[in-house]
Structure 1
């Protein structure tokens, strides 16, 4: 049996012979020399027209669905008036400064 050992684990490789441990990098390098599988449909890819279609798995081009978009902003007039309205602006020191800045700039609308 052949083992891949690292600091905290050892993995037994099926079909390997010998009792000598083998490093993980040596095992990875031995698998790097194996040619990759290029076709999913066997002999059709080399002989049929449009063989490039079969080079990738069919789920590679499938649409990925996510959650609905564009539903983040739902305006509420009550919230707008309570946050940016005249009464809220006048009631705090920061709000008064906002109104004064808008007056100096010449805005027609000072608040909501």
Structure 2
């Protein structure tokens, strides 16, 4: 009863957009919630496109995002499909798994809580 079967795509055809899986989005939103509770972030945005799914976190709604968490499945076999990008667009961390890519933000959260 609880099994969800994905709709099959024709072979050789890419999905029309990339998205986050429930476990991935839960992990990202958990981190976001802790950063909001620490008083650091106040807003977020999610973008789904043909190439990537992007979660952006903002200190204030009128600024550029402080960080972006990007999922690009095309890079899965090369550098890893996950990337942490800073406000200037520089890639801070890239990897095959979400946990290690989020580690720098979680370390910053620990510093915010200690202060």
For the aligned pair, the TM-score class normalised by the smaller chain equals under 0.3
| Larger Rg belongs to | 1
- Quick one: higher RCO (CA 8 Å, sep 6+), 1 or 2? 2
Q: Scaled by the length of structure 2, what TM-score is found? A: 0.19
Comparing both structures, which one devotes a greater share of its residues to strand? 2
Q: Scaled by the length of structure 1, what TM-score is found? A: 0.19
